[in-house]
Amino acid sequence: FHQLPSKVTIGQINEALDEGDPAKTLDMLLNPSAKLTDVDPSIALHYHNKLLEARREKAHVRLYKSFAFLNLSGMVIKNMQTAHAKRSRVQLHGII
């Protein structure tokens, strides 16, 4: 059974990334509350850069999903408006 790091620990790692300090990022990764094993201090810069890259990719995916949702929502609304307009024309045609 492997436990995940706490939200606080993840927040501390993110703060270290925000500060741009690979040494602080390494300190957070070595913190026992991070529940990580086999962290190699000699590649601290690599860890820091890979975590930044992963965070950017995650943000990009979130942005893409948000855009896709908004685009889909817009299409649904447009389709509903088109259907409503067609019904209105049919109703008007029956009156005239």
* DSSP per position, 12-75: HHHHHHHHT-HHHHHHHHHSGGG------GGGHHHHHHHHHHHHHHHHHHHHHHHHHHHHHHHH
Q: What is the mean pLDDT of residues 20-42?
A: 93
Q: Indicate the domain borders of the chain.
A: 7-95
What percent of the chain has pLDDT above 90? 38
Query: Is this structure's pTM higher than 0.85?
Result: no
Whole-number percent of the chain with pLDDT over 70: 58
Residue 89, amino acid: R
- pLDDT of amino acid 91: 56
Q: Vertex 59, ends 75 and 35: CA angle to 5°? A: 135
Please tell me the number of Cα atoms within 13 Å of 39 on its side-chain side: 18
Q: Is 36 buried (19+), middle (13-18) or exposed (0-12) by CB count in 10 A?
A: middle
